[in-house]
Chain A
Amino acid sequence: MFLTKLLELFIGTMAGIVTGVFPGLHVNLIIPFVSAYPFLLGIAVSHTFFDFIPSLLVGVPDESSSIASLPGHRLVISGHGYEAFLLSIIGGLFGSLSLILIIPLFLLFNIPIKSIVLPALLILLLSMIMSQKKRVIALFMFCLSASLGFVIDPFSYGVLPSYFTGLFGVPTLVYSLLSDSKIPKQKIPKQLNVNFHVSLLSGLGGLLSGLLPGVTSSVSAVLFDNLFKLSDKDKVLLVGGINTVYVITSILAIWLVGSPRSGIAMAVSNVGIDVIPLLFAAVAISAFLALSVGTKLFLFFSKISTLHLNSVALFIVLSIMFVLYPKQLPLFLAASSLGLLFYSLGVSRNLGLGFIILPILSTYLCGIL
């Protein structure tokens, strides 16, 4: 019986390679077709390791716009993309391990996480706007994104994937296709300094996003980045950790706070205590596969012409939107326009998180009042 679970887990982690590498594919799409919970755990965890490959390599801008681009892309442009991929694996592995320290402390001190959400989000909001050079434009763009979040429920089915794909994915791909960007040869690092303490931050960030309704992994990542002013490499380490830890804590939330916090968590919500060692086994298998298979995939894709890579990625993303989320097409188009506006105005697209931050803030404020 336990060998069967391990086999299902392993097959799930292999499936996570496919969902991770294809941009726009989400693990929640698989849930209706699979009931074996070890498989679902494996695919959910593995996806978080392998989706760094398209995140890093697809939509790489040319050097002139690198400042406005994402940290991962900046590292790829400077030839440190493979280093970023290794850091994302370490982030996922050690971020998950940090939970072994963090969760007992959380239970022992009965930390009232809900009470720190409101001040944390206010600090995040302030720091996001003050960190921009064009503060008035930044505030305007934040409010524009937030207004969308009040019109459309951000947490309905398909809304967040459509919004984020439109906000971050489409402008990146479009600008990359229009420019003459090339992925430079990726260096194999001779020296690799890893700030393992960032893994503790990612454990905390993943715990926050896994337990608290509305606080997504991207909100946690931006919060810690703004608080601690991390380097690009540490940002990749942080995000790698938070994404994987979020999967684990959203499932453990069934036990820790009494309700599941993700699609996968809802699918496995009636299982036994073996979910805990299965999750950590999935992390171990995924880290190993990311290092072996993922490295080969990364280096292979980094040699493909960006025109072909980005054209195929844009085609896949648009197809997924049309086929799987047709009702969210207006939102997707609005988010894409917003993303292009952010790009052309030269302010950080992280401000687009106003779409979820302001609605969450108002929910918590109403709860207090």
Chain B
Amino acid sequence: MGGEGSVYIKKIIVWSSIIVFVVSVLVLAFLDSDTLVSGKISNLQTGKKVSIFGVVIWQKHINGYTIALVDTGMEKVRVFTKDTRELSTGLFTGVVKDYKGEKELVLDKTA
């Protein structure tokens, strides 16, 4: 039913919706949904695996371990790793652990 105008507009809506849906689903399928860009680690349960984006404020290498403070924009997160790699600003993936009553992120081992 309908004149040409509405048929044309309906086609625009249908095809735009299909394209947006397909692109969104492809992005969703390949995305690591544990990357936390909203919310705070301090609100998460220990044992949860997450990835965060952040800026390294400082880091120290002590006895084969590395401790760093990372600013995610929403909070400053203590990051811990059992090696002496140099951490740089970017993505940090690890497990949320409790350290003296505060949450910290223990990084995964590098490949």
Q: List 8 A-B contacts (CB under 8 A).
A: A5-B28, A86-B9, A93-B17, A192-B5, A258-B73, A278-B24, A280-B23, A287-B17
| A83 CB contacts on chain B under 8 angstroms | 6
Interface residues of A in 83-140 (CB under 8 A from B): 83, 86, 89-90, 93-94, 97
Interface residues of B in 66-109 (CB under 8 A from A): 73-74
Asked if A191 and B12 make an inter-chain contact with CB atoms under 8 angstroms apart, the answer reads no
Q: What residues make up the interface of A, taking CB atoms closer than 8 Å to B?
A: 1-2, 5-6, 82-83, 86, 89-90, 93-94, 97, 188-192, 194, 254-255, 258, 268-278, 280-281, 283-285, 287-288, 291
| A2 CB contacts on chain B under 8 angstroms | 28-29, 33
Asked if A284 and B20 make an inter-chain contact with CB atoms under 8 angstroms apart, the answer reads yes
| B25 CB contacts on chain A under 8 angstroms | 6, 277, 281
Known: A89-B13, A274-B33, A291-B14. A284 touches B21 (CB 8 A): yes
Q: Would you give the shortest CB distance from A84 to chain B, in whole angstroms?
A: 12
Known: A89-B13, A278-B28. A97 touches B20 (CB 8 A): yes
| B36 CB contacts on chain A under 8 angstroms | 270, 272-273
Complex Cα distance, B69 from A183, in Å, reads 64
Counting CB contacts under 8 A, is B64 at the interface? no
Q: Would you give the shortest CB distance from B57 to chain A, in whole angstroms?
A: 17
Specify which of B6, B21, B23, B24 is in contact with A86 (CB 8 Å cutoff). Answer: B6
| B38 CB contacts on chain A under 8 angstroms | 254-255, 268-272, 275
Asked if B74 and A258 make an inter-chain contact with CB atoms under 8 angstroms apart, the answer reads yes
Q: Would you give the shortest CB distance from B6 to chain A, in whole angstroms?
A: 5
Name which residue of chain B comes closest to A96, CB basis.
B20
Q: Would you give the shortest CB distance from B26 to chain A, in whole angstroms?
A: 8
Known: A89-B13, A277-B28, A277-B31. A255 touches B37 (CB 8 A): yes
Counting CB contacts under 8 A, is B46 at the interface? no
Known: A287-B13, A288-B13. A272 touches B34 (CB 8 A): yes
Known: A188-B1, A191-B4, A284-B17. A273 touches B73 (CB 8 A): no
Q: Would you give the shortest CB distance from A294 to chain B, in whole angstroms?
A: 11
The 0/1 profile, CB within 8 Å of A marked 1, for residues 28-49 of chain B is 1101111111111001100000
Q: What residues make up the interface of B, taking CB atoms closer than 8 Å to A?
A: 1-6, 8-10, 12-14, 16-18, 20-21, 23-25, 27-29, 31-40, 43-44, 50, 73-74
Specify which of A90, A255, A284, A287 is in contact with B24 (CB 8 Å cutoff). Answer: A284
Asked if A285 and B28 make an inter-chain contact with CB atoms under 8 angstroms apart, the answer reads no
Q: Would you give the shortest CB distance from B1 to chain A, in whole angstroms?
A: 6
Q: Would you give the shortest CB distance from A260 to chain B, in whole angstroms?
A: 8
Complex Cα distance, B51 from A274, in Å, reads 13
Complex Cα distance, B34 from A280, in Å, reads 19
Complex Cα distance, B36 from A268, in Å, reads 12
Specify which of B4, B23, B27, B74 is in contact with A190 (CB 8 Å cutoff). Answer: B4
Known: A90-B12, A274-B33, A285-B17. A191 touches B5 (CB 8 A): yes
| A258 CB contacts on chain B under 8 angstroms | 73-74
Name which residue of chain B comes closest to A274, CB basis.
B33
Complex Cα distance, B39 from A100, in Å, reads 22
Asked if B3 and A93 make an inter-chain contact with CB atoms under 8 angstroms apart, the answer reads no
| B39 CB contacts on chain A under 8 angstroms | 254, 269-271
| A190 CB contacts on chain B under 8 angstroms | 3-6
Complex Cα distance, B18 from A285, in Å, reads 8
| B50 CB contacts on chain A under 8 angstroms | 272
Complex Cα distance, B37 from A281, in Å, reads 19
Name which residue of chain A comes closest to B41, CB basis.
A270
Q: Would you give the shortest CB distance from A48 to chain B, in whole angstroms?
A: 15
| A89 CB contacts on chain B under 8 angstroms | 13
Name which residue of chain A comes closest to B20, CB basis.
A284
